[in-house]
Amino acid sequence: MKILVCISHVPDTTSKINFTNNDTEFDTNGVQYVINPNDEFGLTRAIWFQEQQGATVTVVNVGGPETEPTLRKALAIGANEAIRINATPTDGFFVAKQLAEVVKNGVYDLVIAGKESLDYNGGMVPGMTAALSGYNFLNSCIDIAVDGNNVKAVREIDGGKETVSTSLPLIIGTQKGIVEEKDLRIPNMRGIMTARTKPLNITEAVDAPANTKAVKFEKPAPKSAIKMISPDNLDELIDLLHNEAKVI
């Protein structure tokens, strides 16, 4: 089984976020980048298929040279090879178009992508990639079993879970639950050294329009100061909750 894992290069959630150019561009200065957590859950599941069923695992990213350390980490975790599509990811459709080209050229059986990235939270790339590739698609997967071309998957839905039967070729959008946090792989020294010798292929992007554009970014309003209310003064507490906080 050939597996392709789509990797997003996203800011660490502990990074301090700022914007430049009149709040129209993300300020990358001093920001640490990591594998998108939803993608890392999917990558870990792909490595399980590699170990248990002899699958080959390729990771792919749309981005410039600055994303290569993230791809190398994926190789150190256990992926067999990496592909970097040399382009700036302008919007979801542009990224999906690039990924669909890799999917069709590589004839992959299973494509794993996080259901959304933790920077822009668009949640559109896996589904659009499936549509452009002509693959079956399941989103929000929290379990998957493959037997030949037959697939049984569990996905999270509002208020519960849904078990679905489908077949390869398939694209899935993954999240926490496909593996648990305790199952995530930490690259060891052997993996880091081996990653240096694994192929990291660079391909040029295909033409695709950018259908959306970020007009402006705005950070959440800062939290207001805490007001301490005497436990004996319930009337004041109720008044503030009703008239100032407006939560009752």
Domain count, the chain: 1
Range(s) of the domain holding residue 150: 2-220
Q: What is the CATH number of the domain that holds 34?
A: 3.40.50.620
* Full-model pTM: 0.88
The reply to whether 228 falls in a domain is no
State the Cα–Cα distance between residues 31 and 14, nearest whole angstrom: 9
**With contact defined as beta carbons under 8 Å apart, do 115 and 38 qualify?**
yes
Is 140 a member of any domain?
A: yes
pLDDT of residue 216: 92
Domain presence at residue 225: no
Q: What is the pLDDT of residue 221?
A: 83
Q: In this structure, is residue 235 part of a structural domain? A: no
**Considering the domain boundaries, does residue 153 fall inside one?**
yes
pLDDT of 172 reads 98
Q: What is the pLDDT of residues 109-152, one digit of tens each?
A: 999 999 999 888 889 999 999 999 999 999 999 999 999 999 99
| Residue 232 falls inside a structural domain | no
The verdict on residue 227 lying in a domain is no
Q: Is residue 191 part of a domain?
A: yes
Predicted pLDDT of residue 207: 94
